Amino acid sequence: MVIIDNKEDLQKLRSKLHSDNVNCVPILSDTNFHPKKNRISLLYFEIDSEEFILPINHCESVRVKPFDFKFDFKFNVLDKKSFLHLISEKLDVTDINLKYYLSTNQQLNVDEFETNAHHFYNRKYYKSMWINDVIPIMKHLEYCRKIISKIKDMNETHDEYDKDLNNALYHIENNGIQTTTGIEYTSYNPFTSTGRPSNSFSGINYAALNKKDGSRKRFISRFGKDGMLVEMDFDAYHLRLIGEVIGYKFPKGSVHEHMAKFYGCDYDEAKSLSFKYLYGFIPDDIKKINPFFEKVSDFIDKLWKDYKSTKTLTSNIYSRRIMGYNLHEMNKNKLFNYMIQTLETENNISILNKLIPSFVSQKSKLVLYNYDSFLVDFSNEDGVDFLRNIKETIEQNGKYPVKVSRGLDYDNMKDITEKF
């Protein structure tokens, strides 16, 4: 193992970096800080069983100034999304966390690799900043070695999904969301059982902000009186997604009003019944009166038959393989629900990657994505045509209509769909 503290050691590292097997574990200076407001303490490299540590802000570094280090090589990195917040260069990197997730359908829990020294320093100096800069390098080495050992045989990758997923979530996090006390940064975790990202940081669950207790009121536009928050919320999203998959064409207008005609009930009851059948059991009498659910039932049966035959679930958009041995206690309805959330997530990631370039030359920011909605911090300077273009991109030629609402704060949003 080489701790790099001179140009000769650095040159030795550089000579190895064009290997096909470069793994990098960044150690951030403070694990309590969001990556956007953090810095790198040191970088650990494992290259064909050789190890290098490049101190950057760690106290054991003997250099007054850090090396001029360029990331002009291809490598695997722990927590790619966080790394993007720290490095301004264009990177050719594969996410170690995603490789582990694709191989196991589980999140890589790096906390379990912390040493007793990590626990001691974090307990004793919990009020101090940049704790990792003073934890001995050799203890960080132990931690990094355990991570590399854990992921050594994880070879499942998906370059397109890796790029699109991390690009989308990084950009939203990087924008931050304005509050009455300043900018806050969200933190998406896509490594859930179905791949639907959770989103929480510093004790705040941004994916489930309470709509009734007034806590949303503190979320405002960064543009003050010259802006507003604009939310675009899908209508009957899962029903429309599945309709697209099974070839069922809903008429223009409300899906739930369409369904109410089959059930012989009002809008609210139709909405409740449709979601009840979609996520649960579809009775035979419903299959007879509702052609949508007749097709859904046939699809579920085929999905289950294929899964039992191949022991694999293949996602609809990115064609990701989800291996059966990583899906526990599966049954046909559970598999279908898993497939719905996977489809929803991948469609949203695809939409986000189409949306992000639209914001490059604008002041407005995309600040939140929650399952079936997108929140924009809108600058009035960008004009209403910009919002129309965003709406068209999200709706994908009218396949997935959205409701549009606006407000000076996130607790007081008014429906303005008719204006579009």
CATH label of the domain that carries residue 275: 3.30.70.370
pLDDT at residue 355 is higher than 80: yes
Same domain, 170 and 206: yes
Last residue of a domain, one of 155, 190, 223: 155
Same domain, 137 and 270: no
The pLDDT tens digits of the residues spanning 284-341 come to 999 999 999 999 999 999 999 999 999 999 999 999 988 888 888 899 999 999 999 9
- The mean per-residue pLDDT over the stretch 387-412 comes to 96
Q: Which residues contact 59 (CB under 8 A, 6 or more apart)?
A: 133, 134
Same domain, 121 and 14: yes
pLDDT at residue 273 is higher than 70: yes
Token digits for 54? 């490049």
Angstrom distance (rounded) from CA 219 to CA 409: 6
Of 138, 137, 139, the C-alpha closest to 116 is 139
User: What's residue 66's pLDDT?
Assistant: 64
Does residue 197 contact residue 342 with C-beta atoms inside 8 Å? no
Residues 401, 402, 404, CA angle at the centre, nearest 5°? 150
Last residue of a domain, one of 97, 121, 155: 155
Terminal C-alpha separation, the chain: 62
User: What's residue 65's pLDDT?
Assistant: 65
Same domain, 212 and 300: yes
- Supply the CATH number for residue 58's domain: 3.30.420.10
pLDDT at residue 191 is higher than 70: yes
Please give the model's pTM, rounded to 2 decimal places: 0.94
Average of per-residue pLDDT values in the chain: 95
Same domain, 165 and 149: no
User: What's residue 64's pLDDT?
Assistant: 55
Same domain, 345 and 302: yes
Does residue 41 contact residue 57 with C-beta atoms inside 8 Å? yes
Same domain, 281 and 404: yes
What is the torsional sign of CA 230, 235, 239, 242?
Answer: negative
Does residue 189 contact residue 206 with C-beta atoms inside 8 Å? no
Same domain, 221 and 133: no
109 phi and psi angles, rounded to 5 deg: -95, 95
Same domain, 137 and 209: no
The pLDDT tens digits of the residues spanning 202-211 come to 999 999 999 9
Same domain, 114 and 169: no
The pLDDT tens digits of the residues spanning 164-184 come to 999 999 999 999 999 999 999
The pLDDT tens digits of the residues spanning 226-271 come to 999 999 999 999 999 999 999 999 999 999 999 999 999 999 999 9
Q: What is the 3-state secondary structure (H, E, C) of the chain?
A: CEECCCHHHHHHHHHHCCCCCEEEEEEECCCCCCHHHCCEEEEEEEECCEEEEEECCCCCCCCCCCCCCCCCCEEEECCHHHHHHHCCCCCEEEEHHHHHHHHHCCCCCHHHHCCHHHHHHHHHCCCCCCHHHCCCHHHHHHHHHHHHHHHCCCCCCCHHHHHHHHHHHHHHHHHCEEECCEEECCCEECCCCCCCCEEEECCEEHHHCCCCCCHHHHEECCCHHHEEEEEEEECCHHHHHHHHHHCCCCCCCCHHHHHHHHHCCCHHHHHHHHHHHHHCCCCHHHHHHCHHHHHHHHHHHHHHHHHHHHCEEECCCCCCEEEHHHCCCCCHHHHHHHHHHHHHHHHHHHHHHHHHHHHCCCCCEEEEECCCEEEEEEEHHHCHHHHHHHHHHHHCCCCCCEEEEEECECCCCEECHHHC
Last residue of a domain, one of 116, 137, 155: 155
β-partners of residue 404 are: 232
Q: Which residues contact 44 (CB under 8 A, 6 or more apart)?
A: 24, 25, 26, 27, 51, 52, 53, 140, 141, 144
Angstrom distance (rounded) from CA 134 to CA 394: 47
Same domain, 265 and 411: yes
- The mean per-residue pLDDT over the stretch 392-414 comes to 96
> Residue type for 55, please?
P
Token digits for 165? 């997923």
Same domain, 150 and 164: no
The pLDDT tens digits of the residues spanning 96-132 come to 999 999 999 999 999 999 999 999 999 999 999 999 9
User: What's residue 153's pLDDT?
Assistant: 86
The pLDDT tens digits of the residues spanning 37-65 come to 999 999 999 999 999 999 999 999 877 56
Q: What percent of the chain has pLDDT over 90?
A: 91
Task: Please tell me the total count of domains within the chain.
Answer: 2
Question: How many C-beta atoms lie closer than 10 Å to residue 267's C-beta?
Answer: 12
> Residue type for 142, please?
E
Q: At what angle do helices 255-263 and 237-246 cross, to 10 degrees?
A: 80
395 phi and psi angles, rounded to 5 deg: -75, -15
Q: Which domain holds residue 22?
A: 2-155
Of 74, 255, 34, 46, the C-alpha closest to 159 is 74
